[in-house]
Structure 1
Amino acid sequence: MKKVRITILSLALCAFLAACGQAVSPLGDGGGASSSAGTLKGETLSTETVTVCRIVDGAETGELLLAELNGAENGIYLLSTKGLPVTVDGQSAHAEDLADGMTVEVEHSGTVLESYPAQFAQIVSLRAKTPANGDYNDLCGLWLKVLDDLWSTDPGLNGMEGGGTVPYVGVDLSGAPGDLTETEKAAVAWQFGRLHGAQALTGTFDELAEQGFIDKERLFWEDGVLFSVTAEGQSETATYSLPTLTFDAQKWRGGDGAYFFSDCVCVWPESGTWTEYSIGSEAIS
């Protein structure tokens, strides 16, 4: 009888604890996983999850900056190719065979670290494809080059009164010719800011003014510079049957502090990269 009473009491106690929600988490006290790069996002799916991205920059170093195609603006990733199985156009290859502008299929576990840019937790393979003849290859690289050229021109506009460079750079590619996605534009802006030790902000003049960065009344950005690229005339034409982009670019600090590249022309070379362009005229205000 004593044994029966003990068993009944034990069962009642277990039922009481369950009703009160006192259960031990299978994850332990932490209830999840963490990393110096960020927290885990989503659940681990299968090793066959594939994310399709563009290589925005970094192919030459093996530290890739990727922009997810057809993804949200925050679909930006950093990925190291060290030790990864790589194929190019279906053939076994090396990381050194990758090039900026290629599309890649990243096969991974489905878990993503919520840093910015994000990182894939477990990568299985990297499958790259060379853009088809005539496609806009490495258009991100072209705009990065234009932005860098503007940064180097009239560098005084980039400085702060007490020394050092501005802590913010605004990047507006909303009017740039070509077929960049919003994610690719955001990736270009982030990389440009990183290269110059500044926080990148995406947006137009009006948007950045509404957010309180630009003083619209004084026409001045005290701690930042706005860089923009806009289509000029018939922006997508052909020169000797090769695709051609025409555009204007500028950096703006204030009403009397700006620099302009006008009537710029970039012809798509048969090698397939948009990296060289000519400037029709330059002006300062």
Structure 2
Amino acid sequence: MEKRIVTVQYNYDVAIVGSGVAGLFGACHMDPSLKVLVIAKREPDLTNTSLAQGGIAAVLDTVNDNQEDHIRDTMIAGGYENNPDAVRLLVSRGPADVRELMELGAVFDRNPDGSLNYTLEGGHCRPRIVHHKDSTGSEVQRALLAYVRTLPNVTIWEDSLVALLKKDTCFHLDVIQEHTDLIRHVNARVCLLATGGIGRVYEYTTNSKIATGDGIAFAYRLGARIKNLHYIQFHPTGFANKKDRETFLISESVRGEGGYLLNAEKKRFMQNYDPRQELAPRDVVSHFEMVETKRQNSNDLWLDISYKPADFIRQRFP
């Protein structure tokens, strides 16, 4: 028996492909007069954003920090391959964006006096990372999704896969609704691609199942110039579970709070490779982890923060 495929037409001013922080923040900033559609491949909160743990780097403490240092740290971490204008924009806009996230309902950890608690992460010269325990991404996702759902001009489709994207006088998207025989054909004046990275194409990754580079492929097919695809960052620390391709991320903040990387002999090794030790930028740490495993002829590496009080670990990394 042949399946009957039903196609339904929809018209929107803006179609946003992706429901992570980029897509939802974009939806928050659309003019209320615009009819906006957010398309989520799975559940709207199943995103790479939700998996992010450590926090957000922003110079909110202007007494002990400054934006020029943040720019310098970012350029160094990027090997000076960064676009300086993009870095400056990121750093200068960061504080206002974090404040807006708080206005939209995101809650970040604070000190007993009420001030924001800043932690340290690799590549930064001083603590400037605002965070929600060790689940910052999940908190940001929660707050943004809750706010977007209150907007009368925004519709969210979940379990929806964009199978085709074309452009002539407007954008045309064919959206397959999972577990149904329905194909939704969407016409939109503007299309925002916010689908995240491509980490899931690798055998082991800390990325979500949905991170398959769909948006990059769509943009390329529409004629966009794709740049720097060879820069793929692998997070240095994840729980070693060979049964699962989606490795459980262990926050960089564990090293920021004093965690040590140990080799197969349970000895620290980063001091042999980089003066920043465990707080070198992620790509540097990942590279020297590989060097150390080859030197040791063992894939075993350990992350040790056991010298810290148990109560601190439970509270900071629940």
Question: So what's the TM-score if we normalise by structure 2?
Answer: 0.23
Q: Which structure: larger Rg?
A: 1
Which has the larger share of helix?
Answer: 2
